[in-house]
Amino acid sequence: MKLNNQSNKLSLSGDKSIAIRALILCAHFKGNHKIYNFPKNEDVTATLNALSQIGLKYRHYKNYININSNDINFNETEIDCNESATAARLLTGYLSGLRIKTIIKGQKTLKNRPMDRIIDPLSSVGAKIKSKDNFIPIEINSSKNLTPINQELKLPSAQIKSALILYAISVKGESKITGLTNTRDHLERMLKYINYPIKINGNEIRILGDINTNKNLNIKLPGDISSASFLICAAILSTNSNLQIMNVCINKYRIGFVEVACKMGANIEIKNKRNINGESVGDIHVYNGSKLKGVNIDQSDIPNIIDEIPIISILALYADGKTTFNGVDELRVKESNRLQSIISNIKEMNGIAKENNNSLEIYGNNKLYNTTISSYGDHRIFMSFYIANKIINKNYKHQIHDTCYKKTFPTFIELVDKVIN
């Protein structure tokens, strides 16, 4: 696929965040289910494998995955979430509500991700959860004293919110979640789409649990907007590159990257907006000729771009002036300390970046040089700095041994190499 003064179209595998939530709902509602445009990255595969340990059966077809959840069991089990924090946190919530005695394990970077943000609220409603210093592995023990959730979220986290909702759907009574609920809302949208009794009023979520769970689900996944952000960045920074990414999730809590890129001067347009399975979907068009400038990003905007800060940092390297990300402490507890990872890689390329009072500052338009990427095992760090190096020299080759990008975007190298051509 060449990108010389012509528009190129591509589609992406289904959104990872939606896919993981869809799989857990398929396990919960007994029946035969289909998920279309199902992604096969490592995080989603870890979730699928974990649910198979409690009796979920599945079969892959060309355009969808078929799931049978009629034989879910409640036997003591042990599951491995590989490096997926989303799977580990959401399954901790769900399995606590089911009263299944479970040990949740993980590998590599997941062992360093804090789990107290899930353990504490679940423990407050009767869940019996053990862990060493609030890290993986987690031991969930059966509890007869589970009560509905009545929780005010103090941290803007979609993973915490989803874990509590997944707990709530299995526990008799009405649960209420308030506080900082204005984060990605894929689970709430799916529950509404299948007519589950969930009510949302402002920042208050009310949900009934332990109701009839016989239902066949058919879910069509939009393309992954987080994966799309890397290709959009590559097209923005490439000379004479026009790009169309079709059928992408444009949930209002997920398009922060596009909004920031446009604020910086990127020439992007979203067309053909529509609704599929309760989700907002559109076609993203990236046009050449963008002139980027540095911007100041407010702390209130950080939760909705937290995963995209590494790739926005690459745009900042090629922008006039300074770009500031305010309130980025959450970057320290991702797959790597992303604040440190971003700064060290930029400095290795002869760029200028620094931390200043819990803010990240990046100064653009310096002379940059190719370097070996220090990914720290972090997929988003690797993909961001691969693009940065590829823009400097389109013949740049990555370290073959570093395949951490397969965690969420296994076709990343292939697609980026086509965009930057």
pLDDT band per the 50, 70, 90 thresholds, residue 5: very low
pLDDT band per the 50, 70, 90 thresholds, residue 7: low
Structure tokens at 251: 């949930």
pLDDT of residue 126: 94
pLDDT of residue 398: 80
pLDDT of residue 142: 84
Phi/psi at 73 (5° precision): -110, 165
Q: Could you tell me the CA-to-CA distances from 88 to 46, 52, 283 in Å, in that order?
A: 9, 14, 32
pTM over 0.85: yes
pLDDT of residue 282: 98
pLDDT at 314 over 70: yes
pLDDT at 240 over 80: no
End-to-end CA distance of the chain: 9
Give the tens place of pLDDT for each residue, 33-57.
999 999 999 999 999 999 999 999 9
pLDDT of residue 6: 47
Q: Which residues lie closer than 8 Å to 133 by C-beta, 6 or more apart?
A: none
For residue 101, the one-letter residue type is K
pLDDT of residue 241: 78
Mean pLDDT, to the nearest integer, of 225-238? Answer: 97
| Residue 350, Cβ density class (10 Å: 0-12 exposed, 13-18 middle, ≥19 buried) | exposed
Most distant CA atoms of the chain, gap in Å = 65
Q: What is the mean pLDDT of the chain?
A: 94
Cβ(103)–Cβ(138) under 8 Å? Answer: yes
Mean pLDDT, to the nearest integer, of 293-300? Answer: 97
pLDDT at 199 over 60: yes
- Catalytic entry in 15, 43, 283, 307: 307
pLDDT of residue 292: 97
Q: Which residues lie closer than 8 Å to 47 by C-beta, 6 or more apart?
A: 19, 20, 23, 24, 81, 84, 86, 87, 91
Domains detected in the chain: 16-220 (3.65.10.10), 222-419 (3.65.10.10)
Mutual orientation of helices 379-392 and 309-317 as an angle, nearest 10°? 20
Q: Could you tell me the CA-to-CA distances from 373 to 196, 266, 419 in Å, in that order?
A: 46, 26, 20
pLDDT of residue 293: 98
pLDDT band per the 50, 70, 90 thresholds, residue 397: confident
For residue 73, the one-letter residue type is N
pLDDT at 192 over 80: yes
Q: What percent of the chain has pLDDT over 90?
A: 90
pLDDT band per the 50, 70, 90 thresholds, residue 421: confident
Mean pLDDT, to the nearest integer, of 323-345? Answer: 97
Cβ(48)–Cβ(58) under 8 Å? Answer: yes
Structure tokens at 311: 């790739």
pLDDT of residue 1: 33
Kind and range of the H or E element at 282?
Answer: strand 279-286
Catalytic residue list contains 307: yes
Give the tens place of pLDDT for each residue, 122-151.
999 999 999 999 999 999 998 889 999 999
pLDDT at 103 over 60: yes
pLDDT of residue 76: 87
Higher pLDDT, 214 or 207: 207
Mean pLDDT, to the nearest integer, of 7-11? Answer: 84
Structure tokens at 340: 């440190």
pLDDT at 82 over 90: yes
- Mapping DSSP to helix (H, G, I), strand (E, B) and coil, where does residue 315 land? helix
For residue 224, the one-letter residue type is D
Look at 181-190, 206-215, 365-374 and tell me which has the smallest mean pLDDT.
Answer: 206-215
Mean pLDDT, to the nearest integer, of 79-106? Answer: 95
pLDDT at 59 over 90: yes
Nearest CA to 23 out of 74, 65, 83, 79 is that of 65
Kind and range of the H or E element at 368?
Answer: none
Mean pLDDT, to the nearest integer, of 363-375? Answer: 95
